[in-house]
Amino acid sequence: MSEGGSKTYRPWEPQRYRQQAHSPASKLPEGALVFFLLDVVPKLDVRRFYAPDEKETRGGPPFDPAMMVCLVLSAYCVGVFSSRKIAMACERNLAFMAIVGEARPDFRTISDFRKLHLEAFTEVCVQVVRVAGAAGLVKWGNVSTDGTKIQGNASRHKAMSYGYLQKEGERLREEIEALVPQAYWQDEAEEAALGSRRGDELPEELSRRETRLATIEEARRRLEEQAKREADEELKRRAGAEAERQRTGEKRRGRKPPPVDERPDDKAQLSFSDAELHILRTHNKGWDYCGNAQASVDEACQIILACDVTDETNDKKQAAPMAQATLATLEQAGIERPTDARGAPQAVVATLDHGYDSESATQALEEMGFDPYMAAGRVPHHGAPPEAPEAPRTAKERMAAQVRSEPGRELYARRKVIVEPVFGQSKEGRGFRRFSLRGLKKIRAEWCVVCLTHNLLKIWRYGCVPMAA
């Protein structure tokens, strides 16, 4: 089987595996998830997975990429994320054996395939949304967006604070300065004893310290750049708040804020194992290196329409990017927005929690054709919501008044049963609580695989027949 060109691959014949007398398929129930995936994957466009192998001429025939795609998707569907555990399941689990037959890839092959084709899986995500739309599972109803912290593949014990980085850098510089003369004296002594040498070799001890110093300098530079970005954002926020006070004539309350400092705080940390992740507050009030995973979910059947992972500590800036990603996914999937009697596109209800609430987010969502409902402040349990202003002037005030109305409260309450269960199904149901890969680009792609397998599970559980993508 070869969909990419003239390249020869190891034969993959899952239909023949089912017909064998003692095949795993004969021992599995007829409606098992693996048979659904074996029917869906051949209908997806997986040509991009074949491209890297078409240029490789060395070695024996590789495993069919379509089989590897089916294997990875099946593993993520049932909560097996480790390459070693996937390889072990290919020898012991009937569902995995029904996919691979007797040609079982080892863990290194599975790991390399997943890393090599991370971006290709993002295209599969759009195709799965198209399949869900064709099956009638996407209704353009209440689109709810939320975020959750997922632990990164980074250790808190392999990190340094900015203050300690400075002290350690100074100490290493002093040691290197003391070792340089010693290195020259050693070269002269060996020159006299052993004869000619190249003369450019560094002693192992000196080279090791220089490598550590370069790593520390890079970490310090990253923290300084991050602090500079945060300072610029704070200046913009203060300027916007001052402009709003000037417009409304409202006086500043409280003390004047201190000047914005562009230098990092001495306690600001950076992990050497994954420098792109920040240490974030988790749901249990602890701190860990996490990615802020985002998802926009359709109300009808909890189909994830868009997903992303950021290194931001909160969700304040994610409303507009997620709305734009949702529109892009639905456009690529060919799912048209519902229209009214005149043929004009209808505004799509979008519900988001208090973490996304801002004037700019409200304006951006309205401009993109959404009808946003965001909590405009926390309400105490069993407490009455604050009254909306009589004459709202800004987009945020209009949205707040809309949320506090009786229909608005009913719409916003639906958010709890749309997007929040999705995270529970992935984290608690399938056990995805930590990224396997490192680097923001890679963990974004891995989160995409988690989300597209969530959609596949929804399609399978609703009993929809897979259609051509």
- Using one digit for the tens of pLDDT, what is the confidence trace for 386-434? 555 566 667 777 777 777 778 888 888 888 899 999 999 999 999 998 8
Across 234-243, 319-328, 362-371, least confident range: 234-243
In angstroms, the CA 319 to CA 367 distance is 13
What is the rounded radius of gyration, in angstroms, for the C-alpha atoms of the chain?
28
**Residues of 82-93 as b/e, b for ≥16 C-beta within 10 angstroms?**
ebeebbebbeeb
> Do 13 and 101 meet the contact criterion of CB atoms below 8 Å apart?
yes
Q: What's the CA gap between 347 and 338, in Å, rounded?
A: 9
Q: Is 293 helix (H, G, I), strand (E, B) or coil?
A: strand
Residue 176 host element (H or E):
helix 162-194
Nearest partner of 396 among 205, 248, 209, judged by Cα: 248
What's the pLDDT tens digit per position in 344-379? 778 888 888 888 888 888 888 888 888 888 877 665
pLDDT at 241: 76
Length of the chain: 469
Write the CB contacts of 89 (distance below 8 Å, at least 6 apart in sequence): 75, 80, 96
Fold entry, domain 139-155+276-443: Nucleotidyltransferase; domain 5 (3.30.420)
pLDDT, residue 1, reads 44
Hey, where are the domains in the chain? 14-116, 139-155+276-443, 159-271
CA 168, CA 303: separation in Å to the nearest integer? Answer: 49
Q: Are strands 159-161 and 143-151 parallel, antiparallel or unpaired?
A: unpaired
List pLDDT tens digits, range 270-307: 665 666 666 777 766 677 778 889 999 999 899 999 99
Burial 262-276 (b: 16+ CB within 10 A, else e): eebeeebbbbeebbb
In Å, how far from its chain's centre is CA 178? 46
Residue-averaged pLDDT of the chain: 78
Distance from C-alpha of 184 to C-alpha of 170, rounded to nearest angstrom: 22
Give yes or no for residue 148 having a pLDDT over 60. yes
The structure tokens listed for 163 are: 């203050």
Most confident by average pLDDT, 21-30, 136-145, 452-461: 452-461
